[in-house]
Amino acid sequence: MADLRFDQSTFLAHRAREAAKIGPPKPPQHVALPGAKAAVAHDRLLAYQDAELDSDAITERVNERWRAENAELLAEHSRWVAGPYVAALEDARKAEIEAAAKALRTRALFEEIMREREQGS
Amino acid sequence: MADPGVPLSYLAYDLRSGSYLGRLPLAGVTFGSQLLNPGTLSGTIDIASAAVQALAPLSLTAPARTVIAVDYMGALIWGGIIWPRYYKYDGQSRQLQVTATELWSYLQQRDQATDYSAPPFSGITGPSTYMPIWDASHTSVPEGGPGVYDPTLLAWQIISDALNQVTDGNILGGLGIAANGYTTAASYIASGTQTPQANYLTANYPYSSIQQVHSMVNLLASNGIGTGFDYAVDIAYSSGPGSVPVGTVNLSYPRRGRTYAQNQLVLNCGNAISYDIPEDGTQVGNTIYEQGQSGSLVVSQNIIPLQGGYPVLEQIKSRANIQSANVLNVLSAMGVSDLATGSFPVATPSVTLDLFSSSVPLGDFIVGDNVRLIVPASDGLGGVFDPRFPSGLDREFRIIGMTAQVADAGQSKLTLNLAVPPVVVAAGPQV
């Protein structure tokens, strides 16, 4: 039966042995840089760094490439934003204003009726 | 379910392997990020619908083993782990409420992998091999002694050990780690000017007082500009939409994000849905006492507010956790950074914009970026646009948080929380 009386030093010794078996960390195949819309292949990242580009410049290049690849989608999105989306927002706002106006009218009518009743009685 | 025109989709991946599980039919979604603090996503799934049941919503949202990623027009802009899931059965509701927290939250449930009581050695390297990342600066002086080290590298070694040296202790098929975009400690150090120059720290973390990885890194990071750094886990598709997601722990020294000169982002309050500008004088300090360990004290004063008519306002900052052979240098750097943020009343504006048609579009900025905040002077009809700013406002702020509210119908909103960007000298009130 396995010895379950683990103390801190045996646990650390186990972990150190385990770590030795795992070996040094492997460099990632792809790297997600802050703000980049696609991950950069590791060898391309290294090539960029050899060309003395910093993280922001590399991100900018990645995003330029992404924009070129997705130009169609971006154009479609801006059409949607300018057309149906804005129209839907305007409709929603109009409906909201109309509902508010209707509520106000109803209340005014109700108050008028109440006033008439008070005067009549 | 959300409007089909909305260009956002929510994808579920297996936490450990990163394999694709499916698309989530989330409604009422709100997601956000904060600097140095993982943000959350919440949304609901109506499991009464037969169409939703066919998607196996329960296995797509299993807590503590599922990643939700937000795709905006073919790029991943947010990634987080589902921790809580809530379900209530009553007369009407059959809704599953899901909450995910950004990938960094994994490190809130991980502890230090080994003993760091005698750097540059650790429980993993043994007593004769130096830790490769921790001591990449070769500053264990005297040879093999305690030494002083770059705080970014300390964090990198701690995270790397926890993720890479513990079996089954990594997520998304293996997170990469990078500091300023460099994936090896040697190339990061070689990049020179963008690494700390004189503010190296001494640190040791005995296994007997075991700590959480997040709190160790957070403490190192919150040391103020010049010593501290920013961190986050970023997510992206490895090669084009639909491919396997890649996560990278990004440590950014001296700060995360770009300046206005680099990103040209303009936040025009003239087009905003609303904005509010709280100002707080209770935390103002133009004279700062930085208290380090063993009685060390550094006093820093910004004389600009005093010349401008403010009285002396003092703050004591306890930095008992800082250990360094050059503790006075570190404390003066912290004094300068505290003066930069606290010399004048702190303003933290927040601006709410339309999510899909704002001048600061989703995916074009990251939390940490600077923006140019503009309040127009005139309303175009000869009047003042906003009496709070009779002559307008044009100033650089830093995005320290964002919240996106995706409406199922009507207007979706993006709220940006702003703060003064890290600077060296504060020369006037912030707004």
pTM for the complete prediction?
0.89
CB proximity under 8 Å: A 75-114 to B: 77, 80-82, 84-86, 88-89, 92
Query: What is the secondary structure of B360-421 as a DSSP string?
Result: S-TTS--TT-EEEEEE-SB-SSSSBS-TTSTT-EEEEEEEEEEEEE--SSS--EEEEEEEPP
CA dihedral defined by B347, B348, B353, B356, rounded to 10 degrees? Answer: 140
CA–CA separation, B331 vs B347, rounded Å? Answer: 25
The separation between CA A38 and the C-alpha centre of its own chain, rounded to angstroms, equals 14
Q: Minimal CA–CA distance to B294: which of B270, B266, B328, B267?
A: B328
Three-class secondary structure of residue B122 per DSSP: coil
Cβ B391 vs Cβ B307: under 8 Å: no
Q: By the CB < 8 Å criterion, does A23 face chain B?
A: no
CA–CA separation, A80 vs A96, rounded Å? Answer: 22
Three-class secondary structure of residue B43 per DSSP: strand
Ranges of residues in chain B whose predicted pLDDT is under 50:
1-2
Cβ B350 vs Cβ B416: under 8 Å: yes
Give the A:B interface size as CB pairs under 8 Å. Answer: 149
Cβ B367 vs Cβ B34: under 8 Å: yes
**∠ at Cα B229 (B405, B360), nearest 5°?**
30
Q: By the CB < 8 Å criterion, does A39 face chain B?
A: yes
Complex ipTM more than 0.85, yes or no: yes
pLDDT of residue B357: 87
- Please tell me which residue, B430 or A31, carries the higher pLDDT value: A31
Q: How far is CA B409 from CA B4, B28, B189, in A?
A: 10, 9, 50
Q: What are the pLDDT digits (tens) for A64-105?
A: 999 999 999 999 988 988 888 888 888 888 998 999 999 999
Cis amide leading into B120 (omega within 30): yes
Chain B positions in Cβ-Cβ contact with residue A17 (cut-off 8 Å)? none
pLDDT of residue B328: 84
Average pLDDT over residues A17-41: 91
Q: What are the pLDDT digits (tens) for B246-282?
A: 999 999 988 899 999 999 999 999 989 999 999 999 9
Q: By the CB < 8 Å criterion, does A31 face chain B?
A: yes
Query: Exposure string (b/e) for A10-42, b if CB count within 10 Å is 16 or more?
Result: eebeebbeebeeeeebeebbbbbbbbbbbbbee
Q: Which residue has the tokens 């905003």?
A: B272
Of B123, B191, B247, the CB nearest to A12: B123
pLDDT of residue A1: 47
Q: Which burial class, exposed, middle or buried, applies to B295 when counting CB atoms under 10 A from its CB (0-12, 13-18, 19+)?
A: exposed
Please judge whether B166 and A80 are an interchain contact, meaning their C-beta atoms are less than 8 angstroms apart.
Answer: no
Residue type at position B116: Y
Please judge whether B180 and A54 are an interchain contact, meaning their C-beta atoms are less than 8 angstroms apart.
Answer: yes
Q: Which burial class, exposed, middle or buried, applies to B288 when counting CB atoms under 10 A from its CB (0-12, 13-18, 19+)?
A: buried
CA–CA separation, B220 vs B159, rounded Å? Answer: 12
Q: By the CB < 8 Å criterion, does A10 face chain B?
A: no
pLDDT of residue B86: 95
Q: What are the pLDDT digits (tens) for B356-380?
A: 988 899 989 999 999 999 999 998 8
